């Protein structure tokens, strides 16, 4: 039985949480494979709105097992908050949520290092969520990190101390003013670790292998988006993990030949939080309308998201790097009421027109070339089937399918589970 993937194709916030929640009925296991609490997956159902950061979005479904894979970085303090917020739903977390022993731990000093690093960069800052993601992955690849499995060893606090001491020396190395009370942060951390230890730790690659052999259906849930990938994103304005399809193999221990469908999610327009280039960004009333109607504020940091037209050059790149087999278009409803819609189909790159995603997309090198299409006025949010969609929206969808050479199977017309149209 193959493992299907679900990936964001832009700069994150495409609506993966909602779609995993919708798709979970078809899967036995939902597995997160990278990133950490920098993600914010919003789910809406039965009038409830809930944001998850590290816990996979299948947690609300009775029969789904949720796995936090080895590629994820876990902050016990944020994890505890997530667990606390779930308590009111009375879920059997111990039997529904498994954590890889090989997942790395975010220590309080990783968060401080993130803040010190960003402060030292001044105008060149990444716009990090400041959750300690970069420093934790640095310790992972530097072979210094602490893993969930270490918590089962008797000397884990010694390992912790030695790493935290090193981090303190590094924080002092940055010549910036970071105020903190480590004793207080550590008290919270140790308390949260004790709660984490009540959960089920597993060798997740073995668990997933056996589950696959037993015919279980597995969905690997990505966080962030392809343009934030450490290798293929708009480096250095990226996150610190591989958000693209290959990340699911290394982040779960799933072999490449076991990957089945690659489901790619994109918004009908584009958003970005944090710094970094964004060729189709709008600074006018249209961008302001997208932000307001689309409620474009970061689920983790609350920061307003930058908004712009759909960038097909970037989307094609993401479709190819990931090997996307089916697409899902989110937030089509937000574009209702625009007289004309623009789609970027090429870049003017250093004076030459190109259709591929180049090494560098900074504004001084790239200006977007747009195709214009008719908009639609209808409110989509109450529509329930594909035959109700307005003609101009169908034309928009068909144009994208032709350009991307992949079918768009789901059109989302609102945040709720029920506002999902299958094509």
Residue 127 Cβ vs ligand IMP, minimum distance, rounded to whole Å: 4
53 is catalytic: no
Q: Which stretch binds ligand IMP (CB under 6 A): 120-128, 277-285, 363-371, 414-422?
A: 120-128
- Select from 54, 70, 204, 224 the one that contacts ligand IMP (CB under 6 A): 224
d(CA 25, CA 36): 24
- Between 115 and 219, CB nearer to ligand IMP: 115
Q: Which of 24, 34, 239, 243 binds ligand IMP (CB under 6 A)?
A: 239
Residue nearest to ligand IMP (CB): 274
Of 84-92, 122-130, 143-151, 260-268, the segment contacting ligand IMP by CB under 6 A is 122-130
| Binding span for ligand IMP by CB under 6 A among 61-69, 155-163, 222-230, 334-342 | 222-230
Question: Cα dist. 376→309, 338, 373 in Å?
Answer: 15, 7, 10
Residue among 412, 404, 395, 391 at smallest CA distance from 329: 412
- Asked whether the beta carbons of 30 and 219 are under 8 A apart, the reply is yes
Q: Are 152 and 101 in contact (CB under 8 A)?
A: yes
Is 54 among the residues that bind ligand IMP (CB under 6 A)? no
127 is an interface residue for ligand IMP by CB under 6 A:
yes
Tell me the Cα Rg of the chain: 21
Q: Any contact of residue 323 with ligand IMP (CB under 6 A)?
A: no
61 given a catalytic annotation: no
Catalytic residue among 13, 21, 139, 286: 13
Our finding on whether 112 is near ligand IMP (CB under 6 A) is no
Written in H, E and C, the secondary structure of 296-347 is: CECCCCCCECEEECEEHHHHHHHHHHHCCCEEEEECHHHHCCCCEEEEEEEE
Classified as helix, coil or strand, 114 is helix
Minimum separation from the CB atom of position 223 to ligand IMP (A):
6
Residue count (the chain): 423
34 near ligand IMP, judged by CB under 6 A: no
Please name the residue that has the structure tokens 């934790």: 136
Distance CA 235, CA 277 (A): 10
User: Quick one: which of 30, 133, 164, 380 contacts ligand IMP (CB under 6 A)?
Assistant: 133
Q: Which residue is listed with tokens 């270490």?
A: 150
277 binds ligand IMP (CB under 6 A): no
Q: Which is nearer to ligand IMP, 224 or 280 (CB)?
A: 224
Residue 126 near ligand IMP by CB under 6 A: yes
How far apart (Å, rounded) are the C-alpha atoms in residues 217 and 211? 8
* Complex with ligand IMP: residue 24 or 129, whichever CB lies closer: 129
Stretch that binds ligand IMP, among 7-15, 21-29, 285-293, 388-396 (CB under 6 A): 7-15
Question: Which H/E stretch holds residue 187?
Answer: helix 182-196
Q: Which is nearer to ligand IMP, 330 or 341 (CB)?
A: 330
Collapse the DSSP code of 149 into the 3-class scheme (helix H, G, I; strand E, B; otherwise coil) and give the result: helix
- Dig out the tokens for 295 from the structure: 């409620």
Q: Is 12 in the site for ligand IMP (CB under 6 A)?
A: yes
Distance in angstroms (rounded) separating the CA atoms of residues 101 and 149: 4
- Whether the bond between 373 and the residue before it is cis, its omega within 30 degrees of 0, is no
Q: Which of 6, 227, 228, 334 binds ligand IMP (CB under 6 A)?
A: 228
Closest contact distance (angstroms) between CB of 299 and ligand IMP is 7
Q: Is 72 in the site for ligand IMP (CB under 6 A)?
A: no
> Is 43:57 a contact under the CB 8 Å cutoff?
yes
Nearest residue (CB) to ligand IMP, 149 versus 287: 287
Strand 408-412, strand 326-330: pairing: parallel
Question: Residues interacting with ligand IMP, by CB under 6 A?
Answer: 11-13, 38-40, 126-129, 131, 133-134, 223-224, 228, 237, 239, 273-274
Residues identified as active-site: 13, 41
């Amino acid at each position: 039985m193959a493992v299907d993937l679900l990936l964001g194709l832009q700069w994150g916030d495409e609506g993966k949480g909602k779609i995993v929640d919708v798709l979970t009925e078809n899967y036995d296991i939902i597995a997160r494979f990278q990133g950490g609490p920098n993600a914010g997956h919003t789910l809406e159902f039965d009038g409830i709105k809930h944001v998850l950061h590290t816990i996979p979005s299948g947690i609300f479904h009775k029969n789904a097992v949720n796995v936090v894979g080895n590629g994820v970085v876990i902050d016990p303090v944020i994890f505890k908050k997530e667990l606390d917020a779930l308590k009111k739903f009375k879920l059997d977390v111990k039997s529904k949520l498994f954590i890889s022993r090989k997942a790395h731990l975010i220590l309080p000093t990783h968060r401080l290092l993130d803040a010190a690093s960003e402060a030292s960069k001044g105008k060149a800052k990444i716009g990090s969520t400041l959750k300690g993601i970069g420093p934790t992955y640095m310790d992972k690849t530097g072979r210094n990190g602490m893993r969930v499995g270490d918590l089962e060893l008797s000397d884990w606090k010694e390992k912790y101390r030695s790493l935290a001491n090193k981090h303190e020396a590094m924080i002092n190395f940055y010549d910036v003013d970071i105020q903190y009370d480590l004793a207080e942060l550590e008290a919270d951390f140790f308390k949260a670790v004790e709660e984490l230890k009540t959960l089920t730790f597993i060798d997740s690659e073995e668990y997933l292998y056996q589950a696959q052999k037993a015919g279980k259906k597995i969905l690997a849930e990505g966080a962030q988006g392809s343009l934030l990938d450490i290798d293929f994103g708009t480096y250095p304005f990226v996150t610190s993990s591989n958000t693209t399809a290959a990340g699911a193999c290394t982040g779960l221990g799933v072999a490449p030949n076991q990957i089945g469908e690659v489901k790619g999610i994109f918004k009908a327009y584009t958003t970005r939080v944090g710094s970094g280039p964004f060729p189709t960004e709008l600074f006018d009333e249209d961008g302001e309308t997208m932000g307001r109607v689309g409620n474009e504020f970061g689920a983790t940091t609350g920061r307003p998201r930058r908004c712009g037209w759909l960038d097909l050059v970037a989307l094609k790149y993401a479709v190819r790097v990931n090997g996307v087999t089916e697409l899902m278009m989110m937030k089509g409803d937000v574009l209702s009421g625009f007289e004309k819609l623009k789609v970027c189909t090429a870049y003017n790159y250093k004076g030459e027109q190109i259709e591929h995603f180049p090494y560098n997309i900074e504004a001084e090198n790239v200006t977007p070339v747009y195709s214009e299409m008719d908009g639609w006025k209808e409110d989509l949010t109450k529509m329930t089937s594909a035959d109700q969609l307005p003609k101009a929206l169908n034309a928009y969808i068909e144009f994208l399918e032709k350009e991307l050479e992949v079918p768009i199977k789901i059109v989302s017309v609102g945040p709720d589970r029920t506002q999902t149209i299958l094509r």
